[in-house]
Chain A
Amino acid sequence: MREPTARDMVYQYDGSMEGFYCCVFEAIYQGELPAAIEAEAETQPRLFAPVWIETDREKALRVRRSIGERIAPRALELTECVFYSCLEGRELRMLCLLERCWREGAKRLWQGWSDPDLAVLLQAERHLLREAHLLKGFVRFSDYNGHLAAAITPKNFVLPFLAPHFAARYRSESYLIFDKTHRAALIYECGQSRMVEAAHIEFPEVSAQEARYRALWQRFYDTVAIEGRENPRCRMTMMPKRYWENMTEMRPELQKRLRG
């Protein structure tokens, strides 16, 4: 394989994982490196029209298989994490890494944190996995007539990473997690998880019983802190403010008081 030619064109795709794999297919097939890859929804006005890359399942599967088999399973894992992260220019960065791995072998991949380009990607992966881990704890469900529902506002697209966790936990329940940032929802019912697009979801009024459990939880939260050990900075480090808006115990009046 020869080194690809850098072109100042822009690839545009539909924003899906498969669409991204098709961009990779196109770049490798043409032996070129675009100046940017952007999802349809994030398009910025440009002088030249971007090149539209059509999503094709067949091509996507071929690319996916090749990453796992010809580079390494770890490369596939990294790709799929970074793709869902909030890293700026993640598509192009991943393409560069994959292209070099195909050309030079997976050796680069094991250099890990000592390789500056790869370190950026590993950092993005870690950021996403950390946010997903925090949200496993911070998601707050409310009971609406036996169905559970929650809203989150994460920076990374963590729903695919939360799905197996909650499926293993609330196996016999039905629940919905609405990601306001990415306008998507994870729905679990009858033992099956699925992801849907959702611009807005209106939650119904809470029942008296739901309000009671919220009050009990808030009372627990307020009581369990030991007076004489207050440590607002530590709380903020461990539980960053941006998660508070969706957490039952951090009700608006408490947040207001904490903001001074």
Chain B
Amino acid sequence: MELLEKLEHLVNGAKYDAACTSSGSNRAAGAGELGSALPAGCCHSFAADGRCISLLKVLMTNSCIYDCAYCVNRRSNDVPRVAFSPEELAELTIQFYRRNYIEGLFLSSGVLRDADYTMERMLRVVELLRKQYQFHGYIHAKTIPGASPELIWRMGLVADRMSVNIELPSEASLQALAPQKNRRAILRPMEQMHGWLQESNTKPCALQTTANRLPAIHKGSPRFAPAGQATQMIIGATPESDLQIMRLAEGLYQKYRLKRVFYSAYIPVRQHSLLPSLETKPPLLREHRLYQADFLLRQYNFAAEELLDEAAPDFNPYVDPKCNWALCHPEHFPVDVQRAAREALLRVPGIGPRSCQRILAERRGMKLDFSALKRMGVVLKRAQYFILTADHPCGVRLPGEAVARALLDPKIFAFGMEQLSFFQAAPLGLPGAGDVKNLREAAEEAVRVMGGLCSA
């Protein structure tokens, strides 16, 4: 088959993987080498769906022995099956990289024959790149469920980031939709890699034993996956609540020190009794809320249980999780920007890690007022109701309804009105799926509901 067509099929099979980040590694090319990596990563383009394109995201092959209900590459799906040869893919990566199209390679694969055979073929591509082409750009490799630890270990020595897909947020869902997989088999390599990562971070010399067959990427002491490990799960295909999902993510961050958990809104790929119907739109607003909450876990020291509880197990569609938390916890506000500790400042809606840093650095020498905060990057539109400043020593006091109107997330309607139906309505008394007809009605409803929240 022509390479152009083959590429199309193998990109089509890979594109539902959410992660395309290239962060976490830092190195420059030495003499005779090609490629570097930036700690913050680098986006090379943005696709029509607005997602960053950083890596050449492809499958080794889209043939698969598994038959997971939610997957485009499932055995029973009627699509042409193709595969790259390792040489072909390595050459393509290099040629794309030289033209600055990409930051590196994101390599995944359907399972051909068995896990080890597939993993070996992937390993062949990565080792070709590292050894023959002296390629020092970024490589993200998926581990194939069931692959032997030896192969995973070898892959980790040449790749920057490793990931195991956790697939679905609960064991029960996994059993229903991907009966050939099980949670334990997914967590095992994750745990194993966590152990290797810890080891290579604390005492890199312990890995020296394998140094004799190490490729060029590791000068000095070898490191296992310097950009750490990540995972992703599909949301919206199965009935888990946001609370369950956040608890799972929190557990993964704590237990395995994952760099990132990615959430991928389910896009209907087939008619199936256990899956949402083909007409269902992907729950993009819900995915957006999960990412916002994920940032709160990783960079704002929030716990999953603070953001959601059994009484309200799903996010409020109308405001972001941080605003929602602030509205529900008036006892923590207002915060005096001149004196408050970093932790308290970070919890103010409209103040992020960067503006928080600036406040801490600059408040010693001066009295902060609204205009100074604005220049520092604080979003006053949200922050003003939660802070005390030199020019507003008593804070801005407004009736609940006005605050609600101000805090309403303008993004919620950008995804389309039906997005609201993906949230559990009960606890907030939100309108049901078909109840909201137009934008103004939805906005008024949101203000009414949140106004109640604010004055409560």
A interface list, Cβ under 8 A from B:
107, 110-114, 116, 119, 133, 136-143, 148, 150, 165, 168-173, 213, 215-217, 219-226, 228-235, 237-239, 247-249
In angstroms, Cα B365 to Cα A133, docked, is 32
A150: nearest residue on chain B (CB-CB)? B100
Q: List B residues 64-97 near A (Cβ within 8 Å).
A: 92, 95-96
B44 touches A235 (CB 8 A): no
B100 touches A140 (CB 8 A): yes
Shortest CB distance B148–A (Å): 31
B99 touches A137 (CB 8 A): no
B interface list, Cβ under 8 A from A:
3-4, 7-8, 11-12, 15-16, 28-36, 38, 42-54, 56-57, 92, 95-96, 98-101, 103, 137, 265, 267, 281-282, 284, 358, 361-362, 365-366, 368, 371-372, 375-377, 414
The one of B7, B44, B48 that contacts A225, using a Cβ cutoff of 8 Å: B48
B30 touches A112 (CB 8 A): no
A111 touches B98 (CB 8 A): no
**With A113-B375, A223-B15, A238-B43 given, can you name 6 additional A-B contacts, CB distance below 8 Å?**
A111-B362, A139-B100, A141-B99, A229-B50, A229-B282, A248-B101
What residues of A have a CB within 8 angstroms of the CB of B12 in the complex? 223
What residues of B have a CB within 8 angstroms of the CB of A138 in the complex? 44-45
A238 touches B375 (CB 8 A): no
What residues of B have a CB within 8 angstroms of the CB of A222 in the complex? 48
What residues of A have a CB within 8 angstroms of the CB of B34 in the complex? 169-173
The one of A111, A116, A171 that contacts B365, using a Cβ cutoff of 8 Å: A111
A141 touches B50 (CB 8 A): no
Shortest CB distance A219–B (Å): 6
Instruction: Name 6 interchain pairs, CB-CB below 8 A, sorted by A.
Output: A116-B375, A170-B29, A171-B31, A172-B31, A225-B49, A229-B49
A114 and B15 in contact, given A213-B99, A234-B50, A238-B46 (Cβ under 8 angstroms): no
How many A-B pairs have beta carbons closer than 8 Å: the answer is: 161
A219 touches B49 (CB 8 A): no
B267 touches A228 (CB 8 A): yes
In angstroms, Cα B45 to Cα A136, docked, is 11
B377 touches A113 (CB 8 A): yes
A111 touches B366 (CB 8 A): yes
A112 touches B100 (CB 8 A): no
Shortest CB distance A73–B (Å): 17
A232: nearest residue on chain B (CB-CB)? B48
A223 touches B284 (CB 8 A): no
In angstroms, Cα B48 to Cα A253, docked, is 15
What residues of B have a CB within 8 angstroms of the CB of A234 in the complex? 46, 49-50
The one of B8, B103, B137 that contacts A223, using a Cβ cutoff of 8 Å: B8
In angstroms, Cα B282 to Cα A238, docked, is 22
What residues of B have a CB within 8 angstroms of the CB of A133 in the complex? 42
In angstroms, Cα B365 to Cα A229, docked, is 48
Which of A137, A168, A248 gathers the greatest number of chain B CB atoms within 10 Å? A137
A114 touches B52 (CB 8 A): no
**Nearest 8 A/B pairs, CB to CB:** A234-B50, A231-B50, A168-B28, A225-B47, A225-B48, A114-B372, A229-B49, A171-B29
What residues of B have a CB within 8 angstroms of the CB of A213 in the complex? 95-96, 99
In angstroms, Cα B47 to Cα A220, docked, is 10
What residues of B have a CB within 8 angstroms of the CB of A239 in the complex? 45-46
Which of B15, B46, B358 gathers the greatest number of chain A CB atoms within 10 Å? B46
What residues of A have a CB within 8 angstroms of the CB of B365 in the complex? 107, 110-111
In angstroms, Cα B45 to Cα A110, docked, is 36
What residues of A have a CB within 8 angstroms of the CB of B3 in the complex? 216
B281 touches A228 (CB 8 A): yes
In angstroms, Cα B50 to Cα A107, docked, is 43
